[in-house]
Amino acid sequence: MATKADKRSASYRQIESGTERAKPILHQNAREIQPYGKIAKLPIALDEKVCAASAENLNQVLADTMTLRDLYKKHHWQVAGHTFYQLHLLFDKHHDEQDELVDVIAERIQLLGAISLAMAADIAETTIIPRPPRGREEVPVQLSRLLEAHEIILKEARTMAAQADEAEDDGTNDLLVSNVIRSNELQVWFLAEHLVDVPVVHADNAKAAASGR
């Protein structure tokens, strides 16, 4: 006599009958089709060594850009004080702009025939931006930490742009100058102005009088 379990099993087989080609093939494993650090050269009229050198540089910029992006999100969540609203929005705006840079940099690495970094563990191992504490910090410290991270990226981007220019890798040079450097410089300006020591409520009348104004 068939049990309830047998009947259910038979019913499932009837329902699944004829769907074998539509079912996803799960739990697949195989060797990587391209190991990290190797070049699968594309016909972009650049020497393989140039592609490898540019990809290595860009992966460093990518790791640091992803770290800066996430640092902006951390401060977006944790900012406090009377400037909360303005900085909450500014940090999120800068986060989104850095996220766009991440995609542009990663795509350039891929079209150079290399493999872009992607996973958080690999980014943490590669970035040279210091890791912040987990807890909340005061606004001036948050701003200073972001500015220092920007400066790290700007220094490396300028050096790497010059290397790409010397190697005649115009695409990488243009990305670093037009996207990475210009975007980071602009964000530095917006951040740095929040650290100028200007009174919030009233002007410094004593200094104004002394200057004859």
pLDDT score at 177: 98
How many other C-beta atoms can be found within 10 angstroms of the C-beta atom of residue 16? 11
DSSP string, 12-24: HHHHHTT-GGGS-
Cβ 83 vs Cβ 200: under 8 Å: no
Q: Between 209 and 124, whose confidence is greater?
A: 124
Residue type, 18: G
Q: What is the pLDDT of residues 14-66, one digit of tens each?
A: 777 777 778 888 999 999 999 999 999 999 999 999 999 999 999 999 999 99
What are the tens digits of pLDDT across the range 101-151? 999 999 999 999 999 999 999 999 999 999 999 999 999 999 999 999 999
State yes or no: pLDDT of 213 exceeds 80. no
Mean pLDDT over residues 177-195, rounded? 97
Domains and CATH numbers, the chain: 48-196 (1.20.1260.10)
Residue 15 pLDDT: 73
Cα gap 207→190, rounded to integer Å: 26
Question: For residues 38 and 4, what is the distance between their CA atoms, to the nearest angstrom?
Answer: 56
Supply the mean pLDDT for the chain.
91
